[in-house]
Structure 1
Amino acid sequence: MIHLLADTFFGIFSPPFRRKEFLQQTYFVANRSLVIIVFCVCFAAVVTILESSFHMKLVIQNDSMVPGFAAVLILRELAAVVMALLLASRVGAGYASEVGTMRITEQIDALKMLGIDPINYLVVPRLLACIVGATILTVVANMTCLFSAMLISQSYLGYTTGMFLSSMHRFIQFKDIIFAMIKGACFGAVIPLVACYFGFNCEQGAEGVGKATTNTVVIASIAIIVIDFVLSYTFSHLY
């Protein structure tokens, strides 16, 4: 993995720069994942509002802080993490199976015989595309979550749009969005690196491809949770 990280880092600055492949992978990561991410984060936001309201009424008999509390939770944790886990299961599994199949069918060896660096051809465009795509999807997921939270607050809690925005404004800052984008970029970088690592080390046969895909989803999800803890702890000192 360390060897792959080093080769990928130097490959980013080494020609040829595969713009076409980068654009294709960005479309695959961002556009093709948009619908399912928006759908899932909407329901995550609804559950956050409902559960927060229920427990606040139970404990302090007042849910006036629910919009602000939900906005903080959405911007700092919920949207970016849910987006990243969905991306790991969809994009990570796809990359692992693709690279693993190329490995067992000796297509990667064929690239080397043609003088094409597999890292530069396979890993670098996917890494950059995932970073850009995950950052964009983080912003979209946050905006969608906040909009869904505002709608459910209006219909279930009786808060107007102005009341929701006013409460949200008191709790969150612009830096929350910046930190969320940084998280999204870091999560996006992990997914293709883990996927390509297991793809390059895939065992022979269909079972090997399946094992590489499973390992990618599991390890990438664990890495996302750990990175989220590290970044959240770091950002907590910057408020």
Structure 2
Amino acid sequence: MISLFAETLFGIWAPPFRWREFIQQLYFVANRSLLIILFCVCFAAVVTILESSFHMKLVIQNDSMVPGFGALLILRELAAVVTALLLASRVGAGYASEVGTMKITEQIDALKMLGIDPINYLVVPRFLACILGGVILTVAANVVCLFAAMQVSYFYLGYTPAMFISSMHRFVQMQDLFFAMIRGACFGAVIPLVACYFGFRCEEGAEGVGKATTNTVVVASIGIIAIDFILSYTFSHFY
């Protein structure tokens, strides 16, 4: 895995850069995943607001801090992590099955015989597309999450949009969005590396492809949670 990561970083600067493949993968990562991610994060935001209100009323008999607290949780954790886990399930599984199928059908060996580096041809475009796609989807998820939180705060809790924004300003800083973008980029980088790693090591037969796909989703999800802890601990020193 470390070797694949190093070769991918080196391959970014090694010509040729495959723009067409990069655009195709960015379309697959960002555009094809957008609706399902926005749909899921909306419900996650609604649940966050409702549960926060319930427990604050239970403990301190007041839920006036819910809009600000919910916005803070959405920007720092919820939107980026939910987006990354959904991408790991959808994009990671797709990459693993695609590369795994190429491996067992000897297409990767054919690339080597033609003098084409499989890392440069397969991994680098997917790596860069997932990084950029992760950032784009994280920003979109944050915006939609905050909008959904604002709406449920208005209709369920009685806080107007102006009150929601005012409360949010007391809790949220611009650097929270910047840190969320960094999370999205880091999470996005994990997915193609894990998927291609298991794809390159795929065993023969349909069972081998299924195993590579399963391992990709599991390991990528674990990696995302572990990296989230590291980034959260690191970013805590900047608040």
TM-score range relative to shorter protein: over 0.9
How far is the alpha carbon of 1:5 from its aligned partner? Answer: 1.1
Q: Secondary structure at the match of 2:223?
A: helix
- The match for 1:69 is 69
The residue aligned with 2:151 is 151
Structure 1 residue runs of 5 or longer lacking an equivalent are: none
| Matching residue of 1:9 | 9
CA-based RMSD: 0.3
Residue 221 of structure 2 corresponds to residue 221 of structure 1: yes
> In 2, distance between residues paired with 1:161 and 1:3?
50
CA displacement 1:62-109 (0-9 Å, x = unmatched): 000000000000000000000000000000000000000000000000
Confirm whether residue 186 of structure 1 aligns to residue 217 of structure 2: no
How far is the alpha carbon of 1:2 from its aligned partner? 1.4
TM-score by length of 1: 1.00
Spell out the pairing of 1:70-85 with structure 2 (5 A cutoff): 70-85=70-85
The residue type equivalent to 2:142 in the other structure is N
The match for 1:97 is: 97
TM-score by length of 2: 1.00
Runs of 4+ with deviation above 2 angstroms = none
The amino acid of 2:216's aligned partner reads T
Distance in 1 between residues matched to 2:223 and 2:3, nearest whole Å:
18
Q: State the match for 1:197 in structure 2.
A: 197
Could you tell me the percent identity over the aligned residues?
82
Code of the residue aligned with 1:180 in structure 2: it is A
State the secondary structure of the residue aligned to 1:33. Answer: helix
> Aligned residues, how many?
239
- The match for 2:57 is 57
User: Runs of 5+ in structure 2 lacking a partner?
Assistant: none
For residue 131 of structure 1, what is the amino acid of its counterpart? I
Partner of 1:207: 207
Aligned equivalents of 2:9, 2:147: Cα separation in 1 = 38
* Match of residue 130 from structure 1: 130
Q: Distance in 2 between matches of 1:3 and 1:51?
A: 44
Letter in 1 for 2:52: S
